[in-house]
Amino acid sequence: MLQDSEGAVKFAVIGGGAWGTALAVAMARSSPVSLYSANSDLVSSIEIHRENRRYLPGVVLKEQIQVTTSLCSALDGADGVVMAVPTKGLRRAIEECETIVKASSAYLITCKGFESRSGSLPFQILESIVPKASYAVLSGPSFAKDVGEKKPTLVSLAAGDRSVSDTFADALFKGGVRTYFNHDVTGVSVGGATKNVIAIAAGMGSALGVGASAVAALVTRGLSEISRLGVALGAERETFMGLSGMGDLSLTCFSDLSRNRRLGHSLGSGRSLLEAEEALGQVAEGVNAANEVKILADRLGVEMPISVAVSKVLTAEISPDEAARQLYARTLRSEFN
């Protein structure tokens, strides 16, 4: 592994949104970091103010963080490449990086969701482009604001090879992010991809005034269907009881900082999807994930009534109120069958 003259591992963070900025700030507490964004106005603003005022206001970026619009400059000498772009832009970002990055570099996948049309999870997108890539997947209950402010954060760091996850674990830990190793890459990825769909449902339920008891039950049943899908895709059921399953789902469904919960709340309040997305002003990964989850559930024969209901609301087939009525009226059954 190539290191600088002082022995520190170098990282390149690809993506200048809230999450990319927060990870750059965390890792820069112990390591050299470059933060890349193609948005020249954003980069100029960060360089001037040493703060990402658009996506992560109030968090100061150390002068040691190189902020750049040059992908070549960001990747120069990087031992670890942190992919912090939305899932829909991940394929293109990897293709651009792969022509520049050195062969020994490891990737850290931090986005959550399914790719449109292919239904691929983020790590599968990477594998399709770079079959022999070394990579780890980061997921768990973690808001960018908390990471940027060095508030205690615990996450899952999944990889087939423990040494790959170790490339990133030390820098994250020194930056305030405690990682727990998990070898179940599929399970960790499925938890992160599907929890956003349930968070939209939780937001809708809250806006409809169904009550805290009903929302808690919805989230619990949501975890059950996430687990069923994950197991059908080859994941281990135990993973969904951990940080990347129950932990991330709880945070996303119950905190008002959650983009997907806020979007669901807007829908439940009577806004159209377009109006809700415009009000949010950021990407809500659950919108795309809902359709992909529905397709996967149909193909695999997995029962996922909450996710399917969210998908139908997003495509305006039914209203949030009708979705709630249909879910509550389902036939009585055993809890765990």
Active site positions, annotated = 195
Buried b (16+ CB within 10 A) or exposed e, 234-259: ebbeebbebbbbbbbbbbbbbeeebb
Beta strands 51-52 and 56-60 are antiparallel
Smallest Cα–Cα separation from 215: which of 202, 225, 196? 202
Q: How far apart are CA 72 and CA 121, in angstroms?
A: 26
Q: Are 308 and 295 in contact (CB under 8 A)?
A: no
How many alpha carbons lie under 13 Å from residue 74 in its C-beta half-sphere?
25
Environment class of 330 (CB within 10 Å of its CB; exposed 0-12, middle 13-18, buried 19+): exposed
Q: Are 164 and 104 in contact (CB under 8 A)?
A: no
Tell me the two tokens of residue 152.
């205690």
Tell me which DSSP letter residue 182 carries: E
